[in-house]
Amino acid sequence: MYAIAYHLIKVANKSSFWDDTHLVIHTASGFDTAAAKALVLGLGQRKQATGKAVHYIHTSGTSNLGDQPITGKYYESHIFSDEENIYAYEKTRESQHTYAQRTTDLAVVETGLEQGVETHIIMSPTIYGIGTGNFNRQSIQIPTIIRSALKAGQAEAIGEGKGIWDYVHIADLAKLYEILLTKILNGEEVPSGEKGIIFSSSGRYSWAELSHGVADALFTLGAIKTRDVKSLTLEEAAEKWAGGLVFHAELGFASNSRTDSVVSRQLGWKPQKTVEDWKANFIEEARLII
């Protein structure tokens, strides 16, 4: 996400509307509710002091929508569209089981409405690709599974890896942030508040496909000796990938979470990366980590 922040600073500096708009783009952890709320409250104070428009762009993830197919505690067959009221859905899910990233989304929307701050949440699926920023250049899920496979000598997946998720390339995702930022700085109306949660999916995969992609890449590079994928229990995966948190492991590495980025495309977003880029990425990320 550093690549996004670095890219957007350059975009903002070119805008003649910058002095009339106060805006924060949060690309750090979406799990820190207090930090996100503090930023929105600060923008609310800025609005009171200056009377100028204030906007907050927040980074979240589609594990918020994920089900629990391994434990069987929750099943979701729905393919979500960002034309729907995702805020209301998150509110309902949160009442059943709290999840810090989802808690943060709700706090952002509700605090923004209270403070008169226009909030916009970009909820992304698995982010892949090598970033162009000056700091961390990789995301979370694929690098986590690659590092675990190198340590175990074999790629792994939870159960049979049947869960279905979406993906987006970091370069395409950065472009969506740029489009949203540019429209805000140009004074154009964009969805905000309860309607301001938008998706950034550009393709779809299963967890089994992801793990087999990792296995093929590492085997091809000579880093492991088998293309076979080992099945892990949820508890084993939680220890390896989620700091022992079973609930987080199920949502983030085994669930079903499918989205259609309708509103994002209505804003003018056109992802350029293809399924071939997705497949080629496994070698790129594996080589970088090795």
DSSP 215-274: HHHHHHTTSSS---EEEE-HHHHHHHHSTT-HHHHHHHHT---EEE-HHHHHTT------
CATH number at residue 199: 3.40.50.720
Helix, strand, or coil here: 29? coil
Interval 245-265: pLDDT, tens:
999 999 999 999 999 999 999
Query: What domain range includes position 76?
Result: 2-289
The amino acid at 7: H
User: Residue 4 has what pLDDT?
Assistant: 53
Interval 201-238: pLDDT, tens:
999 999 999 999 999 999 999 999 999 999 999 999 99
Name which residue leads in pLDDT, 125 or 137: 125
Structurally, the chain folds into a number of domains equal to 1
- The share of the chain scoring above pLDDT 90, in percent, equals 89
Query: For residue 2, is pLDDT > 50?
Result: no
What is each CA distance from 216 to 8, 158, 221, 226, in whole angstroms?
35, 18, 9, 8
Beta-carbon contacts of residue 262 (< 8 Å; ≥ 6 apart): 81, 82, 83, 199
173: enclosing H helix or E strand: helix 170-185
Pick from 258, 252, 270, 255: which is nearest to 82 by CA? 258
What is each CA distance from 284 to 104, 215, 219, 221, 224, in whole angstroms?
32, 13, 13, 10, 16
Query: For residue 110, is pLDDT > 70?
Result: yes
Q: What is the mean pLDDT of residues 76-91?
A: 97
Q: Which pairs from 47-51 meet CB under 8 Å and 24+ separation? A: 47/22, 47/115, 47/116, 47/117, 50/22
Q: What is the mean pLDDT of residues 172-199?
A: 97
Interval 48-75: pLDDT, tens:
999 999 999 999 999 999 999 999 999 9
Rama region for 286: left / alpha / beta (φ>0; ψ in -120 to 50; rest): alpha
Query: For residue 14, is pLDDT > 60?
Result: no
Query: For residue 21, is pLDDT > 80?
Result: no
User: Residue 160 has what pLDDT?
Assistant: 97
**pTM score, whole prediction:** 0.92
**Quick one: the chain helix, strand, coil %, rounded to 5?**
50, 20, 30
CA dihedral 225, 248, 113, 258 (to 10 degrees): 60
Total residue length of the chain: 290
Q: In whole angstroms, what is the distance from residue 141 CA to residue 145 CA?
A: 6
| β-bridge mates for residue 126, sequence order | 167
Residue 195 near residue 227, CB atoms below 8 Å: no
Pick from 164, 167, 256, 145: which is nearest to 211 by CA? 145
The amino acid at 171: A
